[in-house]
Amino acid sequence: MTAWAEDFRKLFPHARVDEPMSRHTTFHIGGPADALVAVHDEAQLARLYVFARRHALPVMLLGRGSNLLVLDRGIRGVVVRLKGDFERIEFPGGTLVRAGAGARLPQLAMDCAERGLTGVETLVGVPGTVGGGLVMNAGTREGEIGAVVRRVRIFEPELGKGAWIGGGALRFSYRKSNLENRVVLAGELELKAGVKGDILARVRELQGRRSQTRPIHTFNVGSVFKNPPGRFVAQLIQEAGLKGLRRGGAKVSDLHANFIENDQGATAADVLGLVETLREAVRSRFNVELELEVKVVGEA
Q: Which residues are annotated as catalytic?
A: 175, 223, 293
Q: 213-242 burial by CB neighbour count: b if 16+ within 10 A, else e? A: ebbbebbbbbbbbbbeeeeebbebbeebeb
Paired with 295 in beta bridges are: 68
Helix (H) or strand (E) holding 208: helix 196-213
- Sign of CA pseudo-dihedral 92, 95, 98, 104: positive
Q: Is 20 exposed, middle or buried (0-12, 13-18, 19+ CB in 10 A)?
A: middle
216, 230 Cβ separation under 8 angstroms: no
Q: Is 282 exposed, middle or buried (0-12, 13-18, 19+ CB in 10 A)?
A: buried
CA distances from 132 to 12, 28, 68, 146, 261 (A): 24, 18, 10, 12, 21
Coil, helix or strand at residue 286: helix
Angle at 26 between CA 283 and CA 230, to 5 degrees: 30
Cβ atoms within 10 Å of 81's Cβ, excluding its own: 19
